[in-house]
């Protein structure tokens, strides 16, 4: 029997309403399995949990261990119709919260909110992935694009070990859905993101006794101060270019002319042309003082996610499906990056499909419990959409 889209949307939403407590219990289990970015063992246990869940939905899991982190899990259906396109669901299990962080979010369930380390960023999104696929199976809803899932464990520290596999699968995918949290209390979807770069400047001067022979030294901290001013002048907020000197260090002792100094710079850009220009500017910095060596390293690691035509197609479908489900959504630009910055280079991408809440990387991190129903229903409808025309 063929159902209307409205009827199918009603069935899907009703399914999640019936399973609301089961969904929240699963999320609670995930949050209690804490997964700091650099703690491989905890991430392996978390992947064990996910693999068990996927196996109940006739999905097989491929797991690849990382060198410094837990690596990634790739889940795909055991049975697949040859020639059908795939759609990639992307998430990360690592959190910024180490086990002994004194001010990390407390696990709680109060006044319609659930709190805990990583619940908003982004274990609620991972829960949505599981239950969207489960709903398709339980309700026997056909899809014309096969859902596959990639969950990594190093997104919070740059996805350095997993970005290549993300790119590789993105090239093969018709589209990608990124289950990062939405933006703001309105739950806006992220249709563009800034590109992110990290640069390091090292200055080598010459040590000397600060009291006896100060003139024989070359102060690397003074040189770095000149460079910081040059870097600050590169900011262009109207163009969306930000250059932030976030960390500096240097010196040997209070009574020694500093022989070395170092600065770490965060760069954000809205497009690849600005990325190229700002990289050239930073790499082209020259010393102001004589007898100083300046070493500049770094790059734009995450390219910008821009509003391409194929990305717009996904956004418009999400907006229409949300209306069918009875709620309105808006779009927004995010200053932060995600693995959507990578997928967007190769396929249609929609980001910020997670559960509404607040407090990413903050002590008050939480989600609104009721919104996980509508957001999981929206994801499920998107998985049922026709292939994107590239």
pLDDT tens figures, 163-217: 999 999 999 999 999 999 999 999 999 999 999 999 999 999 999 999 999 999 9
Q: Tell me phi and psi for residue 244, to 5 degrees.
A: -115, 120
Q: Specify the pLDDT at position 2.
A: 63
Q: Identify the helix (H) or strand (E) that includes residue 131.
A: helix 124-138
Report in angstroms the alpha-carbon separations of 317 from 46, 238, 368: 32, 30, 24
Residue 331 lies in a domain: yes
How does residue 1 score in pLDDT terms, banded at 50, 70 and 90? low
- pLDDT (average), residues 115-140: 98
Judgement on whether residues 72 and 189 belong to the same structural domain of the protein: yes
Question: Quick one: what percent of the chain has pLDDT higher than 70?
Answer: 99
* pLDDT above 60 (res 90): yes
Nearest to 127 by CA among 149, 156, 111: 149
Question: What's the CATH code of the domain at 296?
Answer: 3.30.70.360
Phi, psi for 201 (deg, rounded to 5): -115, 125
How far is the C-alpha of 185 from the C-alpha of 202, rounded, in Å? 41
What's the rounded Cα separation, in Å, for the pair 62 and 259?
A: 50
If you write DSSP's letter for every residue of 6-41 in order, what string do you get?
A: HHHHHHHHHHHHHTHHHHHHHHHHHHHS--BTT-HH
Containing structural domain, residue 374: 5-193+305-383
What is the C-alpha to C-alpha distance for residues 143 and 231, in angstroms, rounded to an integer? 50
82 part of a folded domain: yes
Q: Does residue 294 fall inside a structural domain?
A: yes
The answer as to whether 390 is a domain residue is: no
Question: How does the average pLDDT of the chain come out, rounded?
Answer: 96
The verdict on 167 and 219 lying in the same domain is no
Q: How confident is the model over 81-89, as a mean pLDDT? A: 93
185 and 219 assigned to the same domain: no
Looking at the structure, tell me whether residues 152 and 237 fall in a common domain.
no
Is residue 199 domain-shared with residue 180, that is, in the same domain?
no
Question: What is the DSSP code (8-state) at residue 363?
Answer: T
Residue in the structure block whose two tokens are 């030294």: 217
Write down which residue in 268, 285, 302 finishes a domain. Answer: 302
What is the CA 112 to chain-centroid distance, rounded?
A: 26
Given a contact cutoff of 8 angstroms between Cβ atoms, the answer to whether 175 and 145 are in contact is: yes
Whether the Cβ atoms of residue 245 and residue 232 lie closer than 8 Å to each other? yes
Average pLDDT over residues 12-31: 98
Asked whether residue 389 is assigned to any structural domain, the reply reads: no
Q: What is the DSSP letter of 69?
A: S
User: pLDDT grade, residue 81 (50/70/90)?
Assistant: confident
Please check whether residues 52 and 152 belong to one and the same domain.
yes
Considering the domain architecture, whether residues 139 and 61 belong to the same structural domain is answered as yes
Is the overall model pTM greater than 0.85, yes or no? Answer: yes
Determine, yes or no, domain membership for 290: yes
Are residues 50 and 18 part of one domain? yes
pLDDT in tens, 211-253: 999 999 999 999 999 999 999 999 999 999 999 999 999 999 9
Which residue, 284, 302, 320, sits at the end of a domain?
A: 302
Q: What residues does 305 pair with on adjacent strands?
A: 193
CATH of the domain at 82: 3.40.630.10
Residue 8 confidence class, pLDDT cut points 50, 70, 90: very high
Q: Are residues 254 and 282 in the same domain?
A: yes
Q: How do the residues of the chain divide into helix, strand and coil, expressed in percent and rounded to 5?
A: 35, 25, 35
Considering the domain architecture, whether residues 154 and 33 belong to the same structural domain is answered as: yes
Task: Judge contact between 249 and 229, C-beta under 8 A.
Answer: no
Could you say which of 302, 324, 357 is where a domain stops?
302
- pLDDT higher than 60, residue 262: yes
Contacts for 23 with CB less than 8 Å, ≥ 6 apart: 16, 127, 131, 372, 373, 376
Whether the Cβ atoms of residue 73 and residue 150 lie closer than 8 Å to each other: yes
In terms of domains, do 369 and 221 share one?
Answer: no
Q: Which pLDDT score, from 0 to 100, does residue 179 have?
A: 98
- Indicate whether 270 pLDDT > 90: yes
d(CA 196, CA 240): 12
């Amino acid at each position: 029997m063929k159902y209307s889209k409205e009827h199918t949307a009603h069935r899907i939403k009703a399914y999640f309403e019936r399973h609301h407590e089961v969904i929240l219990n699963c999320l609670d289990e995930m949050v209690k399995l804490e997964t700091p970015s650099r703690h491989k063992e905890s991430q392996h246990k978390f992947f064990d949990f996910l693999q068990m869940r996927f196996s109940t939905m006739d999905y097989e899991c491929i797991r690849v261990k990382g060198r410094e982190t837990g690596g990634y899990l790739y889940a795909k259906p055991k049975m697949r119709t040859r020639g059908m396109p795939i759609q990639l669901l992307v998430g990360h299990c690592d959190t910024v919260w180490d086990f002994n962080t004194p001010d990390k979010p407390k696990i709680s369930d109060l006044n319609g909110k659930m709190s805990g380390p990583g619940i908003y960023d982004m274990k609620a999104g991972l829960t949505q992935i599981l239950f969207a696929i489960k709903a398709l199976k339980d309700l026997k809803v056909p899809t014309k694009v096969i859902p596959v899932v990639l969950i990594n464990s190093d997104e919070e520290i740059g996805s350095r070990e997993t970005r290549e596999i993300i790119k590789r699968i993105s090239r093969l995918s018709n589209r990608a859905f990124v289950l990062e949290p939405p933006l703001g209390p309105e739950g806006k979807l992220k249709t563009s993101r800034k590109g992110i770069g990290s640069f390091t400047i090292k200055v080598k001067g010459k040590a000397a006794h600060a009291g006896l022979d100060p003139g024989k030294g070359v102060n690397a901290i003074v040189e770095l101060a000149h460079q910081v001013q040059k870097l600050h002048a590169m900011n262009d907020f109207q163009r969306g270019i930000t250059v932030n000197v976030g960390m500096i260090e240097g010196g040997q002792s209070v009574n020694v002319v500093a022989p070395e100094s170092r600065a770490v710079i965060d760069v954000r850009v809205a497009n690849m042309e600005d990325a190229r220009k700002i990289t050239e500017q930073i790499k082209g910095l020259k010393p102001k003082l004589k007898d100083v060596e300046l070493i500049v390293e770094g790059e734009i690691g995450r390219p910008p996610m821009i509003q391409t035509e194929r990305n717009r197609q996904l956004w418009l479908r999400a907006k229409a499906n949300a209306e069918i489900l009875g709620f309105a959504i808006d779009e927004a630009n995010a200053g932060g990056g995600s693995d959507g910055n990578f997928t967007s280079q190769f396929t249609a991408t929609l980001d910020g499909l997670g559960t509404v809440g607040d407090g990413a990387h903050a002590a008050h991190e939480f989600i609104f419990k009721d919104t996980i129903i509508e957001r999981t229903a929206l994801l499920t409808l998107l998985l049922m959409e026709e292939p994107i025309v590239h």
